[in-house]
Every structure is written in C-alpha cells, then in structure tokens.
Structure 1
Amino acid sequence: MEKSISVQEVRQQAEGYFQRGEFFCSEAVVHTINELLGWPFSEEVVKLASAFPIGLGKAGCLCGAVSGGSMALGMAYGRQHGEPMNEKMFPISAALHDHIKEMYKSTCCRVLVKGYDFTSPERKAHCVAITGEVAAWIAEKLLEDPEIAEKIQKATV
C-alpha cells in the first residue's frame, strides 16, 4: 500500500516546527523538505539554515523562510562540484521569490513584519503562515516534477 503525501501535510509540518519553537522559519523549511525528499541529506543539513532567520541573522533583509526555501530547492535541483547547473534551479528559485512577493508584497523580513510587535503572538503566527506557505509551495512544485515526485513516492512507501 502506497502512502501519498499532501501539500497541506507539508505546510502543517513546517508550521508546527516553527510554532512549537523547534526551529526558526528557514530551519523548519529545510528540515521539512529534507524529510519530504526521504532524507537525502543528514538531519544536520538544517544547521546550514540556522543563520537565515529574521532576515539573515536578524538583519531584517530576505525572509528566512524564503532563504530556507531556496536552500531546500537546492536539495532537489542543486549540483555538486564539476556538475553543470541544473536548468531548473534558477527559474524555480526565482518563482519562489516571486510567489511570496506577490502574495505578501515583499520578501524582506522587516517589511513583512512591519506593524507587528516582534514578540507578539500575532507576529509569530504571521511568520508561521509564511513558513508554511513556502514549504507548501515547494512541495507542490516538487510533486509536479515527475522525476522528483517519483523519488518522493518511493521515500514515503
């Protein structure tokens, strides 16, 4: 019997990691997508995402969820030394950026949280939702790619 994964489950998983305080936004996305892909990388790969929360180390720039999302896309479309760039890498990463910018009017952390008290539950809920949106968008795109979807299906059996 095959088990299929839903985009909504991926969204909820990423949101849960962040909401419960297990990970920040970028880490939650990387961990969730690594799991979706069947752990092609050690769980320690999440350490690479640890500098990105709150707009690149609290600098307020690029949203950590978007940064983590781009890293997660690299798990599927990235390359190793000596390999050519996967033709899908740049367009899908740009599409993630454009999706979040269209949806939230910015990808800049300080703009996304403007008007919120940073320590408020409302700000956290807002960031949790963005984190879930990034993870869900990536999951949807990966599941639409027949080559990647096949790997995901094998990993969830």
Structure 2
Amino acid sequence: MEKNSIVASIRKNAEGYFGRGEFFCSEAVVHTINELLGWPYAEDVVKLASAFPIGLGKSGCLCGAVSGGAMALGMAYGRKHGEPMKEKMFPVSAALHDHIKSLYGSTCCRVLVKGYEFTSPERKAHCVKITGEVAAWIAERLLEDPEIAQKIKMTSSQFEE
C-alpha cells in the first residue's frame, strides 16, 4: 500500500476516534499509532494517554495531541530499563513539536483554542484536525524509517479503504 494512502488513513482514523467521542486527542493518537505499528502494545496502553487531554488534565498547557504524539513516538523509538537512548527519540519528538508550532503558532492547548467556546463544535473540529495532523505526521515519519516501514507494510492491509 502506498505511503500517502496509509498516512491519509491514519489521519482519518485518529480524527474519527476523537470526532466520534471514542477517545480524546492524546488517546486517539496513541491508539491509532499502536494500530499502525501492528499492536506492539496491548490496546489498554491507551490508558497511559488518558491524563493528557485538554492540555494535561484540563490545565490548558501542552496540547494533548502533541503529548499523545510524543508517547506514540516512544512506541517506536523508546527504550526499556538498561537500554541506551535511541538516537532518533529526541530529534523526532522535537520535530513533532516544531511542526505543530509552525502550523498553529503554538503547542499550548489554551493558545490553540483561544477564541473558541470550549463546548462549541468549531473548537472540537479544530482539535480533531490537530489530532489528525499529529497522527499523520508521525505515520509519515515512521514510514520514512526503513526498519519501521518494513514492519508497517506487513500489516498495512488494515488501512486499505
């Protein structure tokens, strides 16, 4: 399956999970990337992302989608106790931050939603779009990594539309 099709499917899946109310932003990204990677972690790993929506527990700080994205990158580039830090972890995580900041002017939830009534459909649509962007950006990076892309292509039939 072509990279662009997989990325578009990942965007759609993450947006769908959040848009339908099945998950919040951080959870949608973690669940979607775990799925993309072929479920290397049990489905309940999404629980780790449950404290991050609305800027870390509704505090309005770091965008939940970005937090979930950093956790999702850890699924691919993280380490276990006793292992050295993988060289890609910090640069790719920083690049996610910089990408969202360049598109939206901030990674702070309260800044990203400024001017929206929190309960409005417009604010939710805006956050759904950011969630999809984070998931798609991560999927694209992972598909550009030959070691990870090889594993994804073996399970990519699940993303065919």
Counterpart of 1:150?
A: 150
Task: Report if the CA contact (8 A) 2:6-2:156 is conserved.
Answer: no
Counterpart of 1:72?
A: 72
Show the 5 A alignment for 1:32-111: 32-111=32-111
Counterpart of 1:133?
A: 133
Letter in 2 for 1:134: V
Structure 1, unmatched stretches of 5+, are: none
User: Pairwise CA RMSD of aligned residues?
Assistant: 0.9
Letter in 2 for 1:112: L
Provide the rounded CA distance (Å) in 1 between the counterparts of 2:40 and 2:81: 17
Q: What TM-score, normalized by structure 2, do the two folds share?
A: 0.94
Q: Does 4-13 or 108-117 show the bigger shift?
A: 4-13
Task: Report if the CA contact (8 A) 2:25-2:64 is conserved.
Answer: yes
Provide the rounded CA distance (Å) in 1 between the counterparts of 2:34 and 2:51: 18
Give structure 1 regions of 4+ aligned residues with deviation exceeding 4 angstroms. Answer: none
Provide the rounded CA distance (Å) in 2 between the counterparts of 1:151 and 1:144: 12
Provide the rounded CA distance (Å) in 2 between the counterparts of 1:156 and 1:102: 30
Counterpart of 1:13?
A: 13
Provide the rounded CA distance (Å) in 2 between the counterparts of 1:50 and 1:6: 25
Q: What whole-Å deviation, never above 9, does each CA across 1:100-122 have from its counterpart, x for those lacking one?
A: 00000000000000000000000
Q: How many residues align?
A: 155
Provide the rounded CA distance (Å) in 2 between the counterparts of 1:77 and 1:64: 20
Residue 55 of structure 2 aligns to a residue whose secondary structure is helix
What is the percentage of aligned positions where both structures have the same residue?
81
Q: What whole-Å deviation, never above 9, does each CA across 1:74-95 have from its counterpart, x for those lacking one?
A: 0000000000000000000000
Counterpart of 1:123?
A: 123
Residue 134 of structure 2 aligns to a residue whose secondary structure is helix
Letter in 1 for 2:48: L
Task: Report if the CA contact (8 A) 2:25-2:131 is conserved.
Answer: yes
Q: What whole-Å deviation, never above 9, does each CA across 1:126-152 have from its counterpart, x for those lacking one?
A: 000000000000000000000000011
Structure 2, unmatched stretches of 5+, are: none
